Amino acid sequence: MNQPLPERTAPLWMLSLMLLLSGCCALMFQVVWIRELRLVFGATTASSAAVLAIFMAGLGLGNWLFGGRIDATERPLRCYGLLELGIALTAGISPLLIMLVRQSYVSLGGQAALGPELATLLRLLASALILAAPTILMGGTMPAAARAVTSSADPHRRGVALIYGLNTIGAVVGAGMANFMLLEALGNRGVLWFACGINLLLAVSALLISKKLSQGAETQTVQDQTELPPSVSQENSITQPEQLGIVCFASGTVGFVFFLMEIVWYRMLGPLLGGTTYTFGLILCVALLGIGVGGALYALLARLVKPTLSFLAVICSLEALLIAV
């Protein structure tokens, strides 16, 4: 058994609010970076797709890098606070890095001097380096928050589903506010620094709450959060390697299809709505809203449905059918 987690008593509503705001900030950053890096890539569908791919790759890498380490920590909320602090700092300097990359690219002669292949490769590498640190840190926030809300009293992981759903709904709010309200009022850098301010507030709040909860739990002996009752563990946990492989493959495929369809919808609706960042933002909001609602619905209905591979297969089949229609 792992050592006790003194932060298990953190209120779910508090973490839900934090994840809502965190998701809001993440999509504000993404919208700003798409607009800024269009000056590097050009105003094309490929430029938006490239930034989106780099953004999601960073999230996935961060989840993989931090997930195991956070599982072993006794203070996941403190880890969450430190990650939010890192996001604020690295995202805050991204405009300076973008400016330096743009100037360096121009000084090299641009595509005319470098050739299309080398120029494209350099633009992609430079953009990946700019977005790597903040997006990788963003990828670690969900494992940290999920670890903080996981407990043996919640075998179906309703808390995790809830914060995931609210995080995604927050992303919808952030994308909508950035695209249709804040950009006109504050400009690209104003929106980015506004989001950095929220991240700093989240970081300070999480660190203070973590410290308070840890002090209050010093004399308590708490059962490890991840240990499930035997009956529930045998029934719901994925213990076989082949089952884990199926789930990982399905998750990767669903993510691939989702973002592929996002680009397809952007191209299909471009002639109708105009091929602008506003169109991309609108499609992004609608797509993310569906994910957020789905996560929230699972949190509400988890007691009625067993999280089995059969249930996953049904959901994937319905998704394929609705996309085809």
What pLDDT was estimated at residue 226?
44
Q: What is the pLDDT of residues 268-290, one digit of tens each?
A: 777 777 666 677 777 778 877 88
237, pLDDT greater than 80: no
What percentage of the chain has pLDDT greater than the value 90?
Answer: 25
224, pLDDT greater than 60: no
Q: Are 123 and 231 in contact (CB under 8 A)?
A: no
8-state DSSP, 152: T
Give the other-Cβ count within 10 Å of 28's Cβ: 27
**Long-range pairs for 269-274: beta carbons < 8 A, 24 or more residues apart:** 270/45
What pLDDT was estimated at residue 23?
93
Distance CA 83, CA 62 (A): 10
Distance CA 240, CA 75 (A): 29
Domain at 6-223: CATH code? 1.20.1250
What pLDDT was estimated at residue 156?
61
Which are the contacts of 11, defined by CB distance < 8 A and separation ≥ 6?
Answer: none
Predicted TM-score (pTM) above 0.85 = no
> Nearest-CA neighbor of 34 among 259, 267, 280?
280
Q: Which amino acid is at 153?
A: A
Mean pLDDT across 26-34: 91
Q: Taking the domains of the chain in order of start, what are their residue ranges? A: 6-223
Q: What is the pLDDT of residues 117-160, one digit of tens each?
A: 787 788 888 888 999 999 999 999 998 988 887 766 655 667 77
What pLDDT was estimated at residue 315?
79
1, pLDDT greater than 50: no
